[in-house]
Chain A
Amino acid sequence: MSTAAITAAAGSARGRRYGSISRDRRWALRWSYFFLVLFAIFFLMPPVYMLITSLKTSQEISAATDPWWVHHPTLGNYIELLTSPTYLTFFRNSALVSVIVVAITMLISVPAAFALSRMRFWGSAALATGVFLTYLIPETLLFIPLFKMFALINEYLDIQLIDRWWVLLVLYPTLTVPFCTWIMIGYFASIPKELDEAALMDGANYRQILTRVFIPVALPGLIAATIFAFTVSWAQFLYPLAFTTSADQLVLPVGIVTSLIKGDVFNWGQIMTGALLGAAPPLIIYAFLMDYYIAGLTAGATKG
């Protein structure tokens, strides 16, 4: 009896307390939404403005009426770009480079991560840390010596690398492999040892342990690493700017910046259309695989 009375009293007291707390919370919630809307406007304004401009004709842009509104929407810019051979070449180059780089990255980093996370050998721990540190060396430090190295290769071995799109296949893995290896080490290390023991008992060899156990179990990590490699390759700007110059060898970011801007004449409708189409592949991947994308993003620091 007495306990029931106590709980009842406590319950009513709690109820009152909760009343004020929930009122506070309601206000906190309103303010949160208010500021989130403000920040969303700030964060989404440039892409929205890209879309607005891409739907305008050059006449409407140069008439400088309301820049935030389309009075005569047209798909002319899209049609023009998607039928222009130069733009399609950029797109093809970008797609080829990104897809092949993703394949190279996975072929290098998955076996390496497997070896570094499961097979201890001399220097393996130092190597794992070293791989992570190389991720910190920025491309802005490396492009000049690499440029000179490739010029020397051309001089001595007569292999022309500069101004060929495939030079990017050599360069991009330096950006993607260290980080992908690092996050795959994290994912592989989290797989319980009992799983490979079980596979070993069933008579599996290394290749089978990797392909039948590790890759299926660490698939989320693999997807995250793939997305990372793809978006980095797609977005890279410095290497193609330094290493490729001919119009048919350019990838999308450099192609738009250098070829759609002719002298001082900026055809902004087309530039915005090109940029928006160029931003589309990463955005589409992100829209469908957001959780993997975010997992890859946070893995670098939280698993570190």
Chain B
Amino acid sequence: MVEAALQTPAIGRGVTRRSALRRTFGRKSSIAFLMTLPLILLVALLVLYPALYSIHLATLNKSMERFVGFGNFLFLFKRETFWMVVQQSCIFAITAVIFKALIGFIVAHFVHNIPSKGQRKWRGMLLVPWVIPPAMSCLAWLWLFDPSYSAFNWILDKLSIAAVPWTGNADWARFSVILVNVWIGAPFFMIMYLAALKSVPEQLYEAAAIDGANWWQRMWYVTLPMMRNIMAITALFSLIVTFANFDIVRILTAGGPVDRTHVFATWAFRVGIEGGDLPLGASVSLFMLPILAVAAIFILRDIHRRASEMS
């Protein structure tokens, strides 16, 4: 009784307070708009406008005076280099993301396995590749891959294995750029998966253990379903970033040998900025749009689902 009596006025006050709050916030929607205005302007002028402008740019000729419609695209389709770039971009992004996810998953499990006292230290050490600016670490890899002074080849030589042309031969160069990308990106996956692993309630494992589940069954029926969302969203993010990657290929191989390692971004830079053909460069970079659109649809769906789960 006493509790109920105490509660009623509190509820009453809460309602009036809520409505006062709503009134003050609601009336000031113009202030809210002003507060978001810099953000809206920034996104509209420096992201959305250029994105649309690049579509317009892609329909002009090299000196940007004449409308050529799909001329640039038709020109690209006829070039062998373009198809090589398409192929290499896909191989690069897909292989790199698969290995990043795999290594991230495995390392996250090992970190999760050890006593929580030491986890911080290991996690801190293993994230270092992600923290170093990619341009800087790529220089280190470039030096490790150096044709005449490669430190890897020195080790291989000690083991009497023939020297590897890390960036000299097309296949090895492809392997090298993917290796460096995996090295930079795997720690990010590790951190995300570790966070996901920590969020799996311990009771589920206990319940599974009582039911006599072995390691594989626990992994397959408990861990993976609980981590599915974070795994998918991390892979999707990484796919976008990897597909649009510039730094690694640019510094390690600059697209060579003979354009074999170019991805969309580096080739667009070569053609557009260095070659002075901005419309053609814009057309090349526009080919990144489809994959972005697909990824955006998936991410939007995920956001909406979570929003509806929360409300």
| Chain A residues engaging chain B, CB cutoff 8 angstroms | 28-29, 32-33, 35-36, 39-40, 42-47, 49-50, 53, 61-62, 64, 66-68, 107-109, 111-112, 114-116, 118-122, 124, 127, 129-134, 136-149, 170-171, 173-174, 177-178, 181, 193, 196-197, 200-201, 206, 231, 234-235, 237-238, 241-242, 253-254, 256-257, 266, 268, 271-272, 275-276, 278-279, 282-283, 286-287, 290, 293-294, 297-298, 300-302, 304
* Interface size grouping (class) on chain B: 35 or more
B1 CB within 8 Å of chain A: no
| Chain B residues engaging chain A, CB cutoff 8 angstroms | 17-18, 20-21, 24-26, 28-29, 31-33, 35-36, 38-40, 42-43, 46-51, 53-54, 57, 64, 103, 106-107, 110-111, 113-115, 120, 122-137, 139-141, 143-144, 146, 148-149, 151, 154-155, 183, 186-188, 191-192, 195, 230, 233-234, 237, 240-241, 244-247, 250-251, 264-265, 268-269, 272-273, 278, 281-282, 285-286, 288-289, 292, 295-296, 299-300, 302-303, 306
| A178 neighbours in B (Cβ, 8 Å) | 43, 47
Counting from the closest, the 8 A-B pairs by CB-CB distance are A138-B244, A235-B133, A119-B32, A140-B265, A253-B135, A121-B29, A145-B50, A145-B54
Among B43, B127, B128, B278, chain A packs the most CB atoms within 10 A around the CB of B43
Please measure, in the bound complex, the distance between the C-alpha atom of A147 and the C-alpha atom of B129, giving whole angstroms: 31
Given A146-B46, A148-B57, A279-B133, CB of A272 within 8 Å of CB of B21: no
Q: Is the interface of B mostly helix, strand, loop or mixed?
A: helix
Is B21 a contact partner of A196 (Cβ separation < 8 A)?
Answer: yes
Q: Is the interface of A mostly helix, strand, loop or mixed?
A: helix
Q: List 15 A-B pairs, Cβ < 8 Å.
A: A32-B111, A39-B110, A43-B187, A47-B132, A61-B149, A62-B149, A136-B292, A139-B246, A141-B285, A148-B57, A148-B278, A177-B39, A234-B133, A237-B133, A254-B135
Query: Nearest Cβ distance between residue B276 and chain A, in whole angstroms?
Result: 11
| B282 neighbours in A (Cβ, 8 Å) | 144-145
Is B285 a contact partner of A174 (Cβ separation < 8 A)?
Answer: no
| B136 neighbours in A (Cβ, 8 Å) | 50, 235, 253, 256, 275-276, 278-279
Closest to A287 in B: B124
Query: Nearest Cβ distance between residue B309 and chain A, in whole angstroms?
Result: 13
Is A43 a contact partner of B35 (Cβ separation < 8 A)?
Answer: no
| A197 touches which of B17, B141, B183, B241 (Cβ 8 Å) | B17
How many cross-chain pairs have Cβ atoms below 8 Å apart between A and B? 305
